[in-house]
Amino acid sequence: MNQPSHLALVPFVSVENMMKLVHHVGLETFLKELAAEVETDFKRWPIFDKAPRVPSHSDVGVIELMPTSDGELYGFKYVNGHPKNMKEGLQTVTGFGLLANVNTGYPVLFSEMTVLTALRTAATSAMATKHLARPNSKTLAMIGNGAQSEFQTIALKAVCGIDTVRLYDIDPAATAKCASNLAGRGITVIQCKSPEEAIEGADVITTATADKEMQTILTDNMVGNGVHINAIGGDCPGKTELHSDIVARASMFVEYPEQTRIEGELQQMPLDHPFTELWEVINGKATGRKDAAEITLFDGVGFAIEDFSALRYVHDKIKGTEFFKNLDMIADPDDPRDLFGMVMRAK
């Protein structure tokens, strides 16, 4: 049988190879470089194709497709969100994605994106924090100590210099797991028994809880002036984390307003509620934090461009390494019109 041509072969990064790549690069370096890659794409935000992700909702979760293109490369991610999964021994969020050449339409990378989503979400929160938090922010309150939490914490250490994390989860076992994973990583870890205790003295608060309903993890009276909040767990219709009063008191920064309006904390607010698009802060078109007393809120729901940045980063990083396998994914007959002949000759 004929061997597939090189055009038929698409590099595939498995979970095993993604983990090897992270160790090869170094976790903090990976997160810093990825945050820089996401930042580069936020700076050129207007050139991307943009649309709210395409969701398929069920009673227990959501499955979504997230496409975008910069005119040279096209990318999409398949991702789910099933808060009940964790109690069944499954991940709340899993994903995989693909990058393709716009000129030919041929894929150039196929990758796992469960680990990569945690990395890119953490890198994005860190990038937003770098632009919005008070300079010299040192203490993070991390509420929701599940799969995303260590990545979020380490990205904030690597990119923003956070040196202390105060952890809280309704499940103390999650907090103990997170504390043990973060031990020895150059960050002081404090396990807390309530969200109030966790946010005491915090410069930055990240909420990454999972529940398929409108929660109020933070209420207005809990949050002091000057704090920066990354609210990343509210990312679906009817799934929010903050009381509307604290959302109203904060200055809100969003990724893609059309998607955030449906999925983010913004869904709770009146249509004329003010917000700033984060990309405008990053490329200098808009002001971020105005003073030390302001509460800034990154209403992060996760946008396709962040996954595109992550896929492109991995595509560059695997060059010259062993951290991928070639998959025979594209039928590529010698005569492009003889697909049938190619199939018949394979008998």
Ligand X SMILES: NC(=O)c1ccc[n+]([C@@H]2O[C@H](COP(=O)([O-])OP(=O)(O)OC[C@H]3O[C@@H](n4cnc5c(N)ncnc54)[C@H](O)[C@@H]3O)[C@@H](O)[C@H]2O)c1
Residue with tokens 């199939």: 343
Stretch that binds ligand X, among 66-74, 227-235, 290-298, 326-334 (CB under 6 A): 227-235
Window 306 to 335, contacts with ligand X (CB under 6 A): none
Q: How many CB atoms lie within 10 A of CB 307?
A: 29
Minimum gap (Å) between residue 124 Cβ and ligand X? 7
Backbone torsions φ then ψ of 121, nearest 5 degrees: -70, -40
Q: Is 235 one of the catalytic residues?
A: yes
Site map (CB under 6 A) of ligand X, residues 248-287, x = contact: ----------------------------------------
Please report the beta strands in the chain, taking only residues with DSSP state E, as ranges in sequence order: 9-13, 54-57, 62-69, 73-81, 95-101, 107-112, 139-143, 164-168, 188-191, 204-207, 214-218, 228-231, 240-242, 251-254, 276-277, 296-298, 325-328
Window 38 to 77, contacts with ligand X (CB under 6 A): none
Minimum gap (Å) between residue 334 Cβ and ligand X? 43
- The residue from 41, 169, 203, 235 that is catalytic is 235
Q: How many CB atoms lie within 10 A of CB 62?
A: 20
Stretch that binds ligand X, among 41-49, 165-173, 179-187, 281-289 (CB under 6 A): 165-173
Identity of the residue, 120 or 324, whose beta carbon is nearer to ligand X in the bound complex: 120
State how far the alpha carbon of 143 is from the alpha carbons of 97, 167, 272, 328, 332, in Å: 28, 6, 29, 43, 50
Minimum gap (Å) between residue 170 Cβ and ligand X? 4
Q: Contacting ligand X (CB under 6 A), which of 66, 98, 127, 217?
A: 217
Backbone torsions φ then ψ of 73, nearest 5 degrees: -120, 150
Any contact of residue 210 with ligand X (CB under 6 A)? yes
Cα 299–65–14 angle (5° rounding)? 100
Any contact of residue 189 with ligand X (CB under 6 A)? no
List residues near ligand X by CB under 6 A. Answer: 81, 86, 92-93, 117, 121, 143-148, 169-171, 174, 208-211, 215, 217, 232-233, 235, 300-302
